[in-house]
Amino acid sequence: GNSVTQMEGPVTLSEEAFLTINCTYTATGYPSLFWYVQYPGEGLQLLLKATKADDKGSNKGFEATYRKETTSFHLEKGSVQVSDSAVYFCALSDNTGNQFYFGTGTSLTVIP
Amino acid sequence: GAGVSQSPRYKVAKRGQDVALRCDPISGHVSLFWYQQALGQGPEFLTYFQNEAQLDKSGLPSDRFFAERPEGSVSTLKIQRTQQEDSAVYLCASSSRDLSYNSPLHFGNGTRLTVT
């Protein structure tokens, strides 16, 4: 079956630190991969996506590369800001686009 | 509207009451999903519509849960005889479902249901 496993939090970093949030997946076929972000009191927002192996998704300084050989889609940012404090969810959609599977989320707090 | 709209934002129900949660998707979006998000967890799939057709309801936890989208736009999730374990945030998402089937989901802010 399809599933997503992401590193557990919470993660606390100082401003300008380097961020990595690990995500691995199990899937049949050729899924698309996503990172969503949820700011306090808000709904999930799409952060970035990648639709095939070796694709790199990027947005707002965040990047993630679709690695089929390691079934991973780790989220990285070179220099985090206080405004990046949120919960980050890794997700995949199957090749029908009718099913999305989410990880349990990783809470990030960035302190000044 | 510009985004997915859900109402009410918060709902408190006494155990045994029925509740109805509304979702207004992005105009023109074909696909609509309902998810349940427990505290500290990721969203768990409940059900999926393509236009007015409910194509997958495998995630509905019991027959007390019922969803409809009669005109292929607004959707309602109804929970009958609410129980405490139903307390969660209920998220609605819509998608344009382009030809490559990798359209992302656009989420509403959710309805936080508390059953007392």
The model's pLDDT over B42-83, given as tens digits with 9 standing for 90+, comes to 999 999 999 999 999 999 999 999 999 999 999 999 999 999
Is the bond into A10 cis (omega within 30 degrees of 0)? Answer: yes
Residue located via tokens 């927002």: A45
Joined together, the tokens standing for residue A75 give 């989220």
Would the pLDDT of B14 be above 80? yes
Residue located via tokens 């709209």: B5
Show Cβ contacts of residue B62 under 8 Å, excluding neighbours closer than 6 positions.
none
Residue B43: closest CA among B34, B51, B52:
B34
The pLDDT value given to residue B51: 93
Which residues of A are less than 8 Å from B91 in CB distance?
43-44
- Counting Cα atoms < 13 Å in the Cβ hemisphere of B57 gives 13
Would the pLDDT of B99 be above 50? no
Would the pLDDT of A104 be above 80? yes
Joined together, the tokens standing for residue B54 give 């409910």
Q: Are B101 and A93 in contact (CB < 8 Å)?
A: yes
DSSP reduced 3-state for A44: strand
DSSP reduced 3-state for A17: coil
With 0-12 / 13-18 / 19 or more C-beta atoms within 10 angstroms meaning exposed / middle / buried, residue A109 is middle
A69 touches chain B (CB under 8 A): no
Question: Among B92, B101, B111, B112, which would you mutate to test the A interface (most chain A Cβ atoms within 10 Å of its Cβ)?
Answer: B101
The pLDDT value given to residue B96: 84
Residue with the larger pLDDT of the pair B1 and A47: A47
A103 touches chain B (CB under 8 A): yes
Arithmetic mean of pLDDT, A63-79: 97
Arithmetic mean of pLDDT, A1-25: 94
Arithmetic mean of pLDDT, B12-22: 98
Reported confidence tier of residue A2, pLDDT bands at 50, 70, 90:
confident
Residue pair A102/A90 in contact (Cβ under 8 Å)? The answer is yes
Arithmetic mean of pLDDT, A28-42: 90
Would the pLDDT of B11 be above 50? yes
